[in-house]
Structure 1
Amino acid sequence: MIALYHGGPSGHSASLLIALAEKGLAYKDHRLDLAAFAQHAPDFLAVNPAGQVPVLREGGRTLTETFFTLLYLDERYPDPPLGGADPEARYTVQKWGKYVETHIAPNLAIVDWAMRGQAPDEAARAGFERLPPERRALWAQALQGFSAEEVQAARAALAKAADRIAEDLASTGWLAGDGWSLADIIVFPHAARFAALGLTVPATVADWLERVGQRSAVRQALGEQSLVAAAATMGPERGRWG
């Protein structure tokens, strides 16, 4: 059986929750309190030493890279197919998967972290010491704080991302091809935060966010939980797959 370790409706976790609901897959639910830094506790580090969610386990396999996990699920459980109906759509799905990880998620993490303005407690800081060196370095930088210039640059990158989403939605109303796909699933949880950050959201994007939010699988996956509130529990990861 699938086991999912996740942080509720926050960014990457929300994408996997939506995909599992869309495919009607049952799973053992392990929700971690990211605000309390449960992802750095020893029992979870035994699952993923990097201290990141989401993590999907199935049949002895442990999958930690979110977009690639979405591709895995779509190939292993192809009903309904979400990876793109033709080569162009599949290319676009993967383009958006990369863009979320290299542009949207890291910049959203910086802005959210800056808005949060609350330092972790001593227990959380102790947990950082259990992380691999490269992860500790990211947290050390976040604890020092991001400069006003870094935060402004991150906000500008997110504004550019909103415009880029609008461009791809213009032809069909979806991000990859003629219908709902993994591209929409990976982008939606992050883009749902844009308005709360004070970004101007193009009308095309606002309409798409509304349509996606009303999908039955999305409502099932997220319930009454708020993507806007949950995204603020993201860590300071500036660039990563997963």
Structure 2
Amino acid sequence: MKRLLLIAAVAVMGVSLQAQETRFGAKAGYSFSTIKVDEAQDDLEARSTDPSHTFYIGGLVEHKFGDKFGIQGELLYSPLGGKEDRNASEDDVYFREKTKITFGTLLIPVSAKYFITENLSVSLGASFGVILSAKQKTVVDAGIGIPGLELEGDDDVDIKDDVNTLNIAPFLGAEFALENGLFFDARYNYGISDLSKSDGKVTNSFLQVGVGFKFGGN
């Protein structure tokens, strides 16, 4: 009986180990990044925000528990941020101020995955962003678009001391993988962390669409 139980236990462990798979990979793609500014911080007459079109690149590790569930961790770099376009007035002088903010961010996304089919999966998780650098570039147009009246500020103004380091962004995503290891994925990261050390709240959300390759297994 003991020998039979031992054989059964070894068989179950073998099936369990066979059902698990660990794969490593690399990925890169396009990021559509936006900054949301709390209205309480807006003391100008009009204000709008525009997205920054940028990129991301990095590596990943995926571990599957059977055919349906898995977890994935990643290490990515992306220069996130956004643009602000403001119309303002001072002493009856009207001007337009364009500002571009760039957060050089190290992203650590962690997610749980559900495999709808062998090739198609959805993921739910959170991206923990560490802001390594923060730059700002401002252009002031005193003539509201009149050529020759633009006054450009410093190319790279360091604002790292004014920015909080951690940017937490829960995300929902989907992935389609081919049998040769190539995959395509997309996810939306909703920023919830206040990145401003001053009054008012500033958040950074971003959409990622990319391609990658996974290799290895078991």
Q: After TM superposition, is the score higher than 0.5?
A: no
* Higher-RCO chain (CA-CA 8 Å, sequence separation at least 6): 1
TM-score when normalising by structure 2: 0.23
Whichever structure has more strand as a proportion of its residues is 2
